Structure 1
Amino acid sequence: MRKLLIPAAVAALVMPFGVAVASADTGHHPSPKQDQRNTFTYALLLPVANNRVQGIGTATVVLHGHDAKITIHVRGLLDHAPHAMHIHVKGSGECPTTDDSRLHNGHLATSTTDGLRAYGAIGTSLTTTGDTSPNSALAIDRFPSAGTYTYSRTIQITDDVARQVRHDNAVVVVHGIDYNKNGKYDTVLGASELNPMLPQEATAPALCGPLH
């Protein structure tokens, strides 16, 4: 599957972070002043309002400085389809509600940008390999492609994202919905506002949970 990077239309999601976040593979090293406390955070991942999702999941992030061991368990999403996952930060530290939904191609649903007020911009892309910066937000060939899966990876995150996790202002979001229950991503909700080459179903938030 072709790697798709973020177009200009999604700049609002990633601009607060500027440069790419180094992954565990890049040799990035913590700064001397960084917080070295061990911090355990947990999120119950529940269906996003009005997106007709019946799945559920959990996420844990264990932090020591920049090192983050991330474990995510998901079940009940669309099978044989990529599910992008991110840590979002600097919103209100919450998940979208029905008040955040709006009409997409005539259907009431919640898109990724509809939820920005609640969960904020992308801080880290939870890819399976390689780069974990916001630049990999739509690298759909490097996310899990199953309806039920376990993700486990230790990566390095920025000071900024680590700070938000430690201060309860970080939210895990899993994307990809089957709004009309036909077993595939299609254009029932129109094209994604993040990348018009993708259907809205492919990028809409499916599961969401604040880290505490």
Structure 2
Amino acid sequence: MRTTTKIATVALGSAALLPFLGAGIAQAADGSTMATLRPVALNGVDASGTAMVTVKGTKIDVTMAATGLLKDSPHAAHIHFGADARHECPKASDDKSGDGTLTTTEGGPAYGPVVVSLTKTGDTSPKSGLAVDRFDTAPGGKFSYERGSITVSSELAQAVTDGQAVVVVHGVDHNGNGKYDGATKSDLDPKLPTEATDPAICGVLNAAPAGGMDTGAGGTSTPNNEGMLLLGGGLLIAAVGSGAFTARKARNRV
């Protein structure tokens, strides 16, 4: 699949997102949040997963695992947030084209634009929203991701702890032939098939369960970020099965 970093402004970022790209002045509340990733309505994906985001000031640690995705294919993954969004995963009623599937743009009113690209290396801004060479390739259909100390704004950090941010993993095999193809092109980049960018699984980040993790309610201490990242990674990977996860060699063409 050919690499592209061309970004569609309508879904992956615009000047309106600039406040979320840098560290803010105010200190955001610390906390740990977790999302259960479920299939996006209408897109026919039989996958599931879990994501955990730990917030400390304007740094976040992200751990994610999933199974049932299109195997050996890049899956763009992002944190989405928009002040005017519904702060939820899209519904069937968001299919404004009436074609029986949901594109990333159609899901925008539910989860908002991309604010963090969950790349494995390099830039994590919305500019890397389609940097497919730096996303997980789901060997055997399993997706595994860990990355710490991602810098965000205080506004976004607060949105995460307030349960307003949404994790979305993209990449759908609509025709069931085991690869991204088809005549319908992506509304984010016409060089890509829509299968490569349509949302697959989605979950809202809410306060993590009590017991070993900060709930973000205040008055409790936040565990060491590094320890949390390692613990979270072990728990999430165990949840979707053991085995080595391999990744395609990154080719940063930002």
Give the TM-score category using the shorter length: 0.7 to 0.9
Paired residues of 1:21 and 1:132 also in contact (CA < 8 A): no
Deviation (angstroms), 1:56 = 0.3
Distance in 2 (CA, whole Å) between partners of 1:211 and 1:115 is 17
Q: Match for residue 75 of structure 2? A: 83
Q: Match for residue 13 of structure 2? A: 14
Q: 2:51 matched to 1:51?
A: no
Distance in 1 (CA, whole Å) between partners of 2:100 and 2:176 is 15
3-state DSSP of counterpart to 1:18 = helix
Q: Match for residue 163 of structure 1? A: 158
Q: Match for residue 180 of structure 1? A: 175
Paired residues of 2:19 and 2:153 also in contact (CA < 8 A): no
Q: Indicate the structure with greater helix content.
A: 2
Q: Match for residue 199 of structure 2? A: 205
Deviation (angstroms), 1:66 = 1.2
Paired residues of 2:50 and 2:65 also in contact (CA < 8 A): yes
Paired residues of 1:124 and 1:161 also in contact (CA < 8 A): no
3-state DSSP of counterpart to 2:49 = strand
Paired residues of 2:171 and 2:197 also in contact (CA < 8 A): yes
Q: Percent identity?
A: 44
3-state DSSP of counterpart to 2:122 = coil
TM-score norm. by structure 1 comes to 0.88
Structure 2 unaligned runs (5+)?
Answer: 207-254
Q: 2:136 aligns with which of 133, 139, 144?
A: 144
Q: Note the 1:50-129 alignment, pairs <5 A.
A: 50-90=42-82, 91-103=85-97, 107-129=99-121
Deviation (angstroms), 1:32 = 5.7
Deviation (angstroms), 1:6 = 3.2
1:5 and 1:160, CA in 2 relative to 1: closer, same or farther beyond 3 A?
Answer: farther
1:49 and 1:142, CA in 2 relative to 1: closer, same or farther beyond 3 A?
Answer: same
Q: Match for residue 34 of structure 1? A: 27
TM-score norm. by structure 2 comes to 0.74
Deviation (angstroms), 1:74 = 0.8
Distance in 1 (CA, whole Å) between partners of 2:203 and 2:162 is 15
Q: Indicate the structure with greater strand content.
A: 1
Q: Could you say what the CA RMSD is over the residues aligned between the two structures, in angstroms?
A: 1.9
Deviation (angstroms), 1:150 = 1.5
Number of aligned residues: 200
Distance in 1 (CA, whole Å) between partners of 2:72 and 2:31 is 34
**Cα distance per residue 1:151-176 (max 9 Å; x no partner):** 01011122232121122110000000
3-state DSSP of counterpart to 1:108 = coil
**Cα distance per residue 1:122-181 (max 9 Å; x no partner):** 110000001000000000000000120210101112223212112211000000001111
